[in-house]
Structure 1
């Protein structure tokens, strides 16, 4: 079995924070490293790039150790075959777009003419062939992002690192640039790691998600697996689900607060149970009939969510409910309002914890 281009175990101690993240990325694969602020995503990227030495573990590319403290091995950033796109792009302000892209190949030993020819080719590939002479201040945010991507790819990296590459763009430019970035990542034959906190970027660009919280991996898998079975509150919020943990006995899951949720899934032992906000129906009084999960709740807040409104509920079960503007008006939902919430057992999913 061929080793992946990137095989790493990132262990970094910084004061009271410890990063401990195993990471493998195959050739041609795009992995998104997702997590809340302070989870350790940027520390992981800096450790891979050689900007943050490891405390323990290793960084190995194509079977060659670049950082292994136990073996007293460390390769400086400029000698790693990595391309990096930083959040703020960090283009050299005094250089043209062409010379920004040519900078890496020049550092690799190409003469000026050859480096500029390669740079011109990459500017053409990212749709900026006519912008070669422009300085960074003369470029839009989307154009600067593409120059930064061309600069990273011009060194023919075995590993491409992207640190929040779309965060600085406005909504419209972000949508267009995301589509272009997806195309270029699909053509990259090395490993690619995307560091982001934006689930849309991760789901649109990555083949696999690695979720990090407090310096550790809490869940990983393809988008379908992660979104179907979130294992932490952060992941549940990321994919838009209400998540609870309890003790299951067949089709019933008893939560820590004493409330029991019914499900059509049969599970025994420690279990998670989830349902989407759209599955929550709100009523002015206790409903009769088919819903098997009902509870009294208090409206804690109402916010616009797409074409609907998201209602935050507190009570026996804290939950989010998505309802239409008409339903909000009909029920006169305002903070402090008392309602009954209901979720059909068939709308819940239960699975082992």
Structure 2
């Protein structure tokens, strides 16, 4: 891989080890997702040059930025890397145009050319009338636009986005996400988006990499990852119930002994996944011959869009989405016994081993 990012990030700290391989082609947007403490921020800091590697390497456009084995290390200010942080981290004493011009000035542009470039970028992000304002005079959305312009103005070979939308309100996030999508589509360099928000990842990224406990647990395009989650975290992220068992034809025996009938065929160790909307609840035991039913206990109830999301404990812990019109008859109080069912056609079956 001569262009883009090729990295093997190994960082060891007391009680934690990051060991992640990343490849991002020029012009590609990759989202790095994972729960808190998974190592996302450590990975981003290593790529930016703020966290030296213990082992491995960071190679950008064929040039080593960090390779401990050969004692190669390029400081942050000499890397062709732009960073947009969650809280934008603009220089508070500089105006918007001076913030954006800072990077080009460090690259050697004279003051006039750097300010002209900065004004052009502020115009691109819709802030042509805000060039003289300082960060405290900007709204959160405006400040984040300045941060995006500042990062892109240096023409980075690698753009790092660290939860860039997390600090914004819902309406502003929607607008900035759409703008960011447009700018990333036009950017010729590699882009790594660090986020915990699946919507940001699905809208902005070409490919997803999921990390847990410092290691990659799943990667692929959005369709593959969302259709076939491989860990509980990924399943929750994409809104699916996920269990593991042993498949024989159209039957899957789960670890707790329950056997689910499925429309999919399987063979050997397999995952079964199905959406909460496919789980139906009833107060009484169904008649004989009904497949895929089990006794459960209500563990919690919360609003989820137009439905109620019901968490169930018992032989098969799952989440079920119940329309409000059906909820009254079920008496959905914590500890209430119910019967749950899922149709065979709603269950996806796929092997545990990655093929």
* Whole-angstrom CA distance in 2 between matches of 1:254 and 1:315: 16
By how many angstroms is 1:331 displaced?
1.5
- The reply on whether 1:44 has 2:55 as its aligned counterpart is no
Superposed counterparts of 1:121-270, under 5 Å: 121-270=120-269
* Whole-angstrom CA distance in 1 between matches of 2:340 and 2:322: 12
Partner of 1:52: helix, strand, or coil? Answer: coil
Structure-1-length-normalised TM-score:
0.98
Partner of 1:268: helix, strand, or coil? Answer: strand
* Whole-angstrom CA distance in 1 between matches of 2:92 and 2:174: 26
Match of 1:9 in 2: 8
* Distance change in 2, residues 1:291/1:138 (3 Å): farther
* Whole-angstrom CA distance in 1 between matches of 2:85 and 2:279: 41
By how many angstroms is 1:289 displaced?
7.5
Alignment: residue pair count: 352
Match of 2:321 in 1: 322
By how many angstroms is 1:3 displaced?
2.7
* Whole-angstrom CA distance in 2 between matches of 1:78 and 1:326: 59
Partner of 2:273: helix, strand, or coil? Answer: strand
By how many angstroms is 1:291 displaced?
4.8
* Whole-angstrom CA distance in 2 between matches of 1:224 and 1:183: 21
**Contact 1:182 1:205 survives alignment (8 Å):** yes
By how many angstroms is 1:64 displaced?
0.7
> Structure 2: 5+ residue runs without aligned partners?
none
Match of 2:291 in 1: 292
By how many angstroms is 1:117 displaced?
0.5
* Whole-angstrom CA distance in 2 between matches of 1:324 and 1:306: 10
* Whole-angstrom CA distance in 2 between matches of 1:349 and 1:292: 16
* Whole-angstrom CA distance in 1 between matches of 2:343 and 2:286: 12
- The reply on whether 1:62 has 2:61 as its aligned counterpart is yes
Match of 1:103 in 2: 102
Structure 1 runs of 4+ aligned residues shifted over 3 Å read 288-291
Superposed counterparts of 1:293-308, under 5 Å: 293-308=292-307
* Distance change in 2, residues 1:289/1:157 (3 Å): farther
* Distance change in 2, residues 1:189/1:326 (3 Å): same
**Contact 1:300 1:313 survives alignment (8 Å):** yes
Partner of 2:113: helix, strand, or coil? Answer: helix
**Contact 1:20 1:215 survives alignment (8 Å):** yes
- Listed one character per residue, the Cα deviations across residues 151-188 of structure 1 (whole Å, up to 9, x for unaligned) are 00000000000000001101111111111111111110
* Whole-angstrom CA distance in 1 between matches of 2:291 and 2:64: 57
Partner of 2:88: helix, strand, or coil? Answer: coil
By how many angstroms is 1:111 displaced?
0.7
By how many angstroms is 1:263 displaced?
1.1
My pick for the range that moved more, 203-212 or 285-294, is: 285-294
* Whole-angstrom CA distance in 1 between matches of 2:60 and 2:103: 19
* Whole-angstrom CA distance in 1 between matches of 2:86 and 2:294: 45
- Listed one character per residue, the Cα deviations across residues 249-299 of structure 1 (whole Å, up to 9, x for unaligned) are 111111111122221111111110011000000011122388520001111
**Contact 1:30 1:192 survives alignment (8 Å):** yes
Match of 1:92 in 2: 91
* Whole-angstrom CA distance in 2 between matches of 1:86 and 1:290: 57
My pick for the range that moved more, 242-251 or 35-44, is: 242-251
Match of 2:310 in 1: 311
Structure-2-length-normalised TM-score:
0.98
> Structure 1: 5+ residue runs without aligned partners?
none
